[in-house]
């Protein structure tokens, strides 16, 4: 079992912020690690809004806050100047007012964010130089408080149910199950047979799925993108993808020749993996982790930093089953109630977090922040001090875990920087490093 050390100052700040969340009856329902080391908090019922020199309270469905630095994208500012100090936010800043735009999910890539609302609208902010946010203006909506509603030309007011974002491209699925892509397409990541950037191109995915399996149910219920590819899951528990098969991130096996823009059956390199339905999956930088209906964890793709916990393999072209029991030094199989099975998984830039069926957190991969470097060659149990985790988020270089009783455990990295700069009166989050 592994526990990250924290200094007393980090712990004190954490205790204060958690007390303040409770005092103000702020219920954090989800945490999202976004680009630029920003940590978004989606809240419910009661929230606070920061505006210059004043603090307002409001009742809403879901509001969004950001904790973190103001250094990315270059030249952008996340908040009015009085909230910024040396390129960092001084305190949490409201991005979207939940009274008007209740947010249910945030999809983040390396350069832009998408906000999916309960009204099934999508708003975007961040870099837009490749038209990745569905607007024919190349203006970069870089100020986090200046979000822009995404639209489809000549389509009225479309409603969206799902979205994903990769490096300089976005994929959205409407309520009537149409798929649109916008942004760069040099690797077929927009699902179109052209290397030119796309603007609101419709992907005819249904005919491709039916050509792969005439009995296929084409309903998409989950979608994620990585650097230059996209993977989605249908209601039948099957994974499909389009884009670049870099480092085996589609699990097709070695030496596979295919047209990047064409849809393929993800994981087809393993007969064992194909026998089971997939119930969830997550994409990192050129690697994928998937959980089957029997709660087994499979991994494939890039493993240069041991983010797949796949022993000494540098690249995993075929899905391999990762057994938590094999990763532990003690004889965990003899522990009452221990199954070694996984209920959820989140992949980041070069790391993976897994939540076991008995509510244990396991981490593997590479974590770096300034002069702090942590590396794990296999899934290693992380000590949460008897707290029960309910949701995880993993960014390129920082990660967060939401646990019961409205605590947020921030694992990696920049604890002091994030909290001291995001200081809110006499406040706190509970951070474990």
Q: How far apart are CA 247 and CA 243, in angstroms?
A: 12
Residue 109 falls inside a structural domain: no
DSSP-assigned states of every residue in 353-387: EEEETTS-EEEEEEEEETTEEEEEEEEEEE--TT-
Model pLDDT, residue 399? 80
Number of domains in the chain: 1
Residue 111 falls inside a structural domain: no
Q: How far apart are CA 297 and CA 290, in angstroms?
A: 6
Q: For residue 349, what is the DSSP state?
A: S
Q: How far apart are CA 222 and CA 88, in angstroms?
A: 34
Task: Flag whether the pTM goes above 0.85.
Answer: no
The domain in which residue 370 lies consists of 246-383
C-alpha distances out from residue 61 to 27, 65, 98, 376, 393, Å: 11, 14, 6, 39, 21
β-sheet bridge partners, residue 5: none
pLDDT tens readout for residues 325-363: 766 554 444 454 456 789 999 998 889 999 999 888 898
- Secondary structure element (H or E) that encloses residue 256, with its range: none
Residue with tokens 């906000």: 115
Residue 222 falls inside a structural domain: no
Do 275 and 253 meet the contact criterion of CB atoms below 8 Å apart? no
Residue 153 falls inside a structural domain: no
Model pLDDT, residue 171? 95
Residue 292 falls inside a structural domain: yes
Model pLDDT, residue 304? 92
Q: For residue 133, what is the DSSP state?
A: T
Residue 407 falls inside a structural domain: no
CA dihedral 125, 129, 135, 141 (to 10 degrees): 30
CATH number at residue 304: 2.130.10.30
Per-residue pLDDT 10s for the chain (433 aa) are 555 444 444 445 455 556 656 666 666 778 888 776 677 777 764 333 332 222 223 333 455 555 544 333 332 333 344 444 444 444 444 454 444 567 788 898 888 888 888 889 988 877 777 778 766 555 555 544 466 788 887 777 889 999 999 989 999 999 999 999 999 999 999 999 888 888 888 999 999 999 999 988 899 999 999 989 999 999 999 999 999 998 999 999 987 888 899 999 999 999 999 999 999 999 998 999 999 999 999 999 999 999 998 877 889 999 999 987 766 554 444 454 456 789 999 998 889 999 999 888 898 988 765 555 678 888 888 877 777 888 888 888 778 788 776 555 544 444 333 333 333 322 333 333 2
Do 297 and 289 meet the contact criterion of CB atoms below 8 Å apart? yes
Residue 137 falls inside a structural domain: no
Q: For residue 27, what is the DSSP state?
A: E
Task: Give the residue among 139, 141, 90 at the shortest CA–CA distance from 113.
Answer: 141
Model pLDDT, residue 97? 45
- Secondary structure element (H or E) that encloses residue 230, with its range: strand 229-234
Do 383 and 3 meet the contact criterion of CB atoms below 8 Å apart? yes
Model pLDDT, residue 8? 45
Residue with tokens 């899951």: 233
- How confident is the prediction for the chain on average, in pLDDT? 74
Residue 339 falls inside a structural domain: yes
DSSP-assigned states of every residue in 291-317: EETT--EEEEEE-TTSTT--TT-SEEE
């Amino acid at each position: 079992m592994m526990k990250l050390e924290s200094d007393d100052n980090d712990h004190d700040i954490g205790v204060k912020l958690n007390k303040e969340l409770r005092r103000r009856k702020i219920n954090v329902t989800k945490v999202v690690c976004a680009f630029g080391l920003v940590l978004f908090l989606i809240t419910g019922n009661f929230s606070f809004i920061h505006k210059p020199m004043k603090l307002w309270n409001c009742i809403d469905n879901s509001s969004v806050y950001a904790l973190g630095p103001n250094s990315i994208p270059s030249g952008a500012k996340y908040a009015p100047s009085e909230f910024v100090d040396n390129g960092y936010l001084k305190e949490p800043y409201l991005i979207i007012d939940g009274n008007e735009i209740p947010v249910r999910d945030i999809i983040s890539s390396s350069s832009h964010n998408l906000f999916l609302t309960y009204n099934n609208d999508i708003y975007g902010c961040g870099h837009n130089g490749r038209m990745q946010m569905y607007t024919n203006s190349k203006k970069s909506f870089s100020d986090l408080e200046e979000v822009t509603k995404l639209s489809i030309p000549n389509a009225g007011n479309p409603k969206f149910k799902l979205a994903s974002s990769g490096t300089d491209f976005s994929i959205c699925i409407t309520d009537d199950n149409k798929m649109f892509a916008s942004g760069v397409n040099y690797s077929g990541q927009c699902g179109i047979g052209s290397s030119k950037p796309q603007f609101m191109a419709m992907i005819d995915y249904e005919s491709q799925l039916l050509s792969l399996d005439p009995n296929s149910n084409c309903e998409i219920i989950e979608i994620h993108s990585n650097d230059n590819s996209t993977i989605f899951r249908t209601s039948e528990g099957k994974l499909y993808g389009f884009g670049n098969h870099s480092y085996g991130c589609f699990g097709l096996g070695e030496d596979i020749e295919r047209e990047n823009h064409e849809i393929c059956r993800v994981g087809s390199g393993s007969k064992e993996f194909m026998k089971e339905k997939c119930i969830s999956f997550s994409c990192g930088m050129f690697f994928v982790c998937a959980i089957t209906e029997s709660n087994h964890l499979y991994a494939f793709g890039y493993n240069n930093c041991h983010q797949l916990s796949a022993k000494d393999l540098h690249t995993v072209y075929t899905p391999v089953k990762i057994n938590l029991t094999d990763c532990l030094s003690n004889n965990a199989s003899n522990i009452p109630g221990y199954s070694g099975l996984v209920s959820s998984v989140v992949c980041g830039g070069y790391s993976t977090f897994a939540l076991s069926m008995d509510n244990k957190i396991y981490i593997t991969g590479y974590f770096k922040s300034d002069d702090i470097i942590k590396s794990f060659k296999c899934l290693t149990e992380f000590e949460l001090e008897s707290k029960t985790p309910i949701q995880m988020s993993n960014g390129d270089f920082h990660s967060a875990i939401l646990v019961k009783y409205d605590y947020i455990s921030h694992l990696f990295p920049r604890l002091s920087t994030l909290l001291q700069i995001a200081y809110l009166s006499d406040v706190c989050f509970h951070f474990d490093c």
